[in-house]
Amino acid sequence: MAKRLIFNAFAMNSVSHVYHGLWRHPDSRQVGFNELGNWLDLARLLECGRFDALFLADVLGLDPAYKGSADTYVHEGLHFPTSDPGMLAAALVSATEHLGLAFTSSILQEHPFNFARKVTTLDHLSRGRVAWNIVTSVGDAAARNFGLDKAVPHDERYVWAEEYVEVLYKLWEGSWEDGAVLADRAAGIYADPARIHRIGHAGRRYRVRGPHQTSPSPQRTPVLIQAGSSRAGRAFAARNAEATFIVSLTPEAAAVAVADIRQQLRANGRRDDDFLFIQGLSFVVGSTEEEAWRKSRAIDEYVSTDGLAAHVSRDLGIDFGTLDPDRPIEEYQIEGLQGFVRFYEEAHPDRKATAATLAHAMSYNGRIIGTPEQSADQLERWQAAGIDGVNVAYQTMPGSFVEFIDQVIPVLQARGLAQRDYAPGTLREKLFAGRPS
């Protein structure tokens, strides 16, 4: 029997996420991203389709990163405005029972003491369904919104992230012992002070005395996801994360990325079964291959090439609206997101990534076009390359998810590649069910 794949819906509390320009499509409801009803409908749909989680990306600033200005981002609703993903996750708790709620939060945006408390609260309220996408925020705009002059240099951000998670682990894991909560009405003792500890963290950026303000939640530590793919990013993931979000361009390139990260995991004493590789893919489904390609071409009519270039420019910190989009990216000093270049070069070892090729890759690579059976065949190839699951990106919201769930999921279920029901327990237990612990 095949091992099942994990499926997350990849979304953002914003108008335009990955397929820039598609918000204008008549089937897209994404202009209504501030309407709770749209998200409740999506969450219920995902749960009917036995999706593992809704994964919410986030961005914290408006960079004038394309053509010397921020106008393209504003015109195209490109990650701006963006509403808070953690608050949205909280709003979906009571509408769902099993769906994981994975949201992004940057080390920039919140003091770890407060973040630990919020996550624990949400993990209590959702009965252990929270995952955290750990990000360090690329770009100067985010840094300037939090009192810095500019973005902290690339590798230094990961040093900061190490201390951030160290504080969190102390609060989540080391502050309250199991059994500290007694709730003993007869004795009049709610909790046992001898089993609650201060953490006394004194580091380079944080001083936190503790104890954790909130009693341990079902998962204590939320499921930890990390998407950085530079050398420092992968090293951080190998030390801390339980899942990494990769955007390899082909299954063959995914196998290279997986092998690289696995090697670092083993060097850190981690077991293969404790770590999940989640690949970003999107699907255009038709009852015939021809119909699927027709739909895909119709989607292309709405794709904004300017939007894609603006996205790549912002992430890399290089303005490809004014610089040469065909010049190899390695000739620039990148303080932004280095991982995209790495993914490109793992797929094309004989070529150098340029802004133009990255923008093209963002729209076309990982777009699986075909019948439900062909989509399932492709997923088998990705699985054989070592991936454990998929972050399903959408072209239209919620249409892409409706199609995937109505048409592809049943084929996957018949092949044992998608779960028919949820495993019991917390999100971590569901994700790792069936793997040796």
Ligand X SMILES: Cc1cc2nc3c(=O)[nH]c(=O)nc-3n(C[C@H](O)[C@H](O)[C@H](O)COP(=O)(O)O)c2cc1C
- Give the binding site for ligand X (CB under 6 A): 57-59, 104, 106, 135-138, 227-230, 232-233, 245, 247, 280, 337-339
Structural contact between residues 163 and 204, judged by C-beta atoms closer than 8 angstroms: yes
CB of 176 to ligand X, least distance (A): 29
Cβ distance to ligand X smaller for residue 233 or 307 = 233
The secondary structure element, H or E, covering residue 89 is helix 85-92
CB of 371 to ligand X, least distance (A): 27
Q: At what angle do helices 305-316 and 339-347 cross, to 10 degrees?
A: 110
CB of 153 to ligand X, least distance (A): 11
Q: Is 186 exposed, middle or buried (0-12, 13-18, 19+ CB in 10 A)?
A: exposed
Structural contact between residues 339 and 229, judged by C-beta atoms closer than 8 angstroms: yes
Q: Which residue is nearest to ligand X (CB)?
A: 233
CB of 287 to ligand X, least distance (A): 31
Cβ distance to ligand X smaller for residue 208 or 385 = 385
DSSP label at residue 239? H
The secondary structure element, H or E, covering residue 145 is helix 140-145
Structure tokens given for 120? 């624990």
CB of 381 to ligand X, least distance (A): 20
Structure tokens given for 163? 């201390």
Cβ distance to ligand X smaller for residue 180 or 361 = 361
Structural contact between residues 89 and 122, judged by C-beta atoms closer than 8 angstroms: yes
CB of 369 to ligand X, least distance (A): 20
Cβ distance to ligand X smaller for residue 22 or 337 = 337
Cα separation, 435 vs 307, whole angstroms: 41
Q: Which residue has the tokens 């083993």?
A: 266
Cβ distance to ligand X smaller for residue 366 or 370 = 366
Structure tokens given for 25? 């499509």
Cβ distance to ligand X smaller for residue 222 or 228 = 228
Angle 139-142-143 from CA coordinates, rounded to 5°: 85
Structural contact between residues 138 and 315, judged by C-beta atoms closer than 8 angstroms: yes
CB of 156 to ligand X, least distance (A): 12
Cβ distance to ligand X smaller for residue 158 or 176 = 158
